[in-house]
A = this chain, B = another copy of it.
């Protein structure tokens, strides 16, 4: 086998465990020196490939690469940059091949969600047409948990754990205060199209620790009357209530609930979250005191409370991607195949990118309870294994000691390219 270099890039919104996948790719590649020479990473994702801004990961130590397992965010930088179709922008795809060729790159590992799976597929297709030999493997990553075929997506389990833990903790807090003060706590979570993350709020309540949690899913049209009636009934029964609201909840007119046309004193449009909107509804309709929180980046960056299952799977996906490449596969993606729930067992599978690209996995309707405000037992069985286990990072002076790599650039060989 001819020794070639590999190219690895991180794409889209980063997660608490995408660097664990990077560690899986780099550490595994280092074990196959006879096939893969160096792993080059794209600085700021695919933009690094287009602009020939490659990082030589071999300049970082064994221990630094190992520490990637514990660091949230994208260690090489990510980007939101969607390559257009081959017809619309053949120029960019050709540039990619040109850069790969210049740096003797025979393996393309692309770590991202649905869009990057599509890009990965197109690169493999174009390379074939151009007669350039490259194996393109997609490494799954998305907190949205919306990739098809794989049982779950690395990044999701840790967000789910963060939301479940935070909802439980804040619920304990509001329960203590509810006699004379706050009675409702509202937490806004990510998930514009699917309610996977919001569903995790339902885990805060368990058989041995019952907590009244109302979930507002993007899948369910917001019904103000039904919602406030549900909150009211919980407050009457438990004395308090927690609400987990997805940023993507929509009103009956199809508009985001967060889009209430808020204006400041000068009439300027203001962008707020959906949590304060829901909180104001509770105050207006029920007259209850509330507190609200917007988790935003905290939820997907919270490596300090990452799920061990998720970290292990993220690493395994990176490792499997390299092993697939070594075995000669291309245009595929490693998947997480669930074998059983209890005990939770899973194995690495393989999906064809043709079947992954442009397919969005929605939450099954039987995961949402009949009244639309909670999760079913089926959903709980699915979610619980994904948040199981803790995998604490090392600390220094009270803070997680997250690695920062040297990220030394590979010498450029080509002329500049405008993106």
Contact = CB atoms under 8 A, between A and B. Distances in A.
A297 interface: yes
Interface string A163-194: 01110111011111111110001010000000
A180 B81 contact: yes
A360 B300 CA distance: 37
Interface stretch (A221-229, A268-276, A333-341): A268-276
Contacts of A389: 398
Contacts of A264: 260-262, 280
A78 interface: yes
B387 A176 contact: no
Contact of A173 (B73, B80, B166, B180): B73
Number of chain copies forming the complex: 2
A392 interface: yes
Given A260-B265, A264-B260, A180 B297 contact: no
Contacts of A307: 398
A248 interface: no
A279 B270 CA distance: 10
Given A164-B399, A293-B298, 16 more contacts: A77-B176, A78-B177, A79-B177, A80-B177, A164-B398, A166-B298, A169-B400, A170-B301, A172-B402, A185-B297, A260-B264, A270-B280, A271-B280, A291-B297, A293-B296, A386-B398
Interface of A: 10, 13-14, 16, 44-45, 47, 71-75, 77-81, 161, 164-166, 168-170, 172-181, 185, 187, 203-204, 206, 208-209, 260-265, 268, 270-273, 275-277, 279-280, 283-284, 291-298, 300-305, 307, 384, 386-390, 392, 395-402, 404
